[in-house]
Structure 1
């Protein structure tokens, strides 16, 4: 503690002020406390200046949470948009093509999108925030428009199906056996001959003796052994330009012969390994107007979207393998 002085008139001189021990301790504590308050105040002021007030810190934390949620929502929107695009592609290339309906082009599916800016009145927002909101608005509007057109398309397909019910009974739109696809339609390396050649149908996995069913109404046109590696084969004429073929059979169903009429779901034969094959399975073809077409596109009434996508991926991977 620094010495203090007072003037003593009796002694005509300055005299040192005497403090008691208690006063010295109290003075030291008071001084330390004042210094501590000043230092703490400076620290708090600096912290607020650099980091923001408690309210600002809470707001920043909330903004981080909202931003993370927005990014998650953007991912979901992207996934929905991709799935919707796949549905519209399948609508054009499968449903409408098989039924003989005119496809809906991409311009028609997007007609009306890109209208008024929903966020034009949100003035005062940060540019980055405005950009995020506008992007989300545009993507949601795109999805909404595609959903409207897709709903209209499905209604139109359903109406067409109902109007052409007789034709639909003959259309081969079911799997001949309930099994998975081993090999798809297109160019491939023959598993026995080892040469690259066109595979004009689908190969379904099946053990010998698995029942086969007609995928649509029709008339048996052929039921015997066929040359060309097919083995025991059945051909069904469904009318309207459609014919289906079932090869490598082990036996015909009861009463199945050329000229016999069959209905959708009727038992026609059993799978086997006759002809040129590496193992038992069912080879299934669809011919339209005398030319083979991909049967996978005709199984839409008997496949879930997940199964259709799975079989499509298998087929594409096989095709990529041929090109590598």
Structure 2
């Protein structure tokens, strides 16, 4: 039962009921409803900002964050594995590949160096998992730098390997005539007796005796610079420029089997033994030039003879006998 309120009427000396007007009742009701709604809204906002009340969207975002965190941890482990593999490649690069080609190793600081910028990861700061994300990002940057340096190093080594194969193919490394039994060596490099003047003079090549028509082989890859009989005393002769400072000369041929400007490979037949020019008997006079200076051809016969054969041919070549030209 609602309470009845009274007021004292001093004129009539009596208590009278307080009658509330309908419009006042309606105003009170509206005020109450507004206050209740405002209070409810404030409580709702307060609940939204507490960890005790999550909306479906909040729960979805939380799961996504945990999933991303897990992915970062997996990525971090993969980066560690890749770093281990990269370190092994770098070790082989420094201690095997670069050593083989006589190149200075790349320092670890150079391989792992990245630009030191305090603001480099500024956009990653201010989050719950900032440390994890920033650390992983830095590892990726370092790994990328290592791979870039390693790729550049391997490119340089590959280029040198191709160049070295080319260089090894160009060196005059075989005997210019077949000499299985080592009996074709007639005269070696050094001072010998001239067959015509009988004077002792420098013999700048090696003489191989053979029947006329015996094939003569290019001792290394190169380009034929001369194939003619214009040089005095050489008769029919061939000059091959191998590059890298090497040049070989083949003289007294019965005929040549190449032309100037022709590219030849080691083992190609470039002519045939003869006795043209200043020659006492059918033979091949063979010379090796390095950087414009004559070199002992004996030092280059590693391509087709064994160590024992090398010693035997060396003993024959070093005998001071009479040359054939």
Please identify the structure whose Cα radius of gyration is greater.
Answer: 2
| TM-score computed with the length of structure 1 as normaliser | 0.47
| TM-score computed with the length of structure 2 as normaliser | 0.47
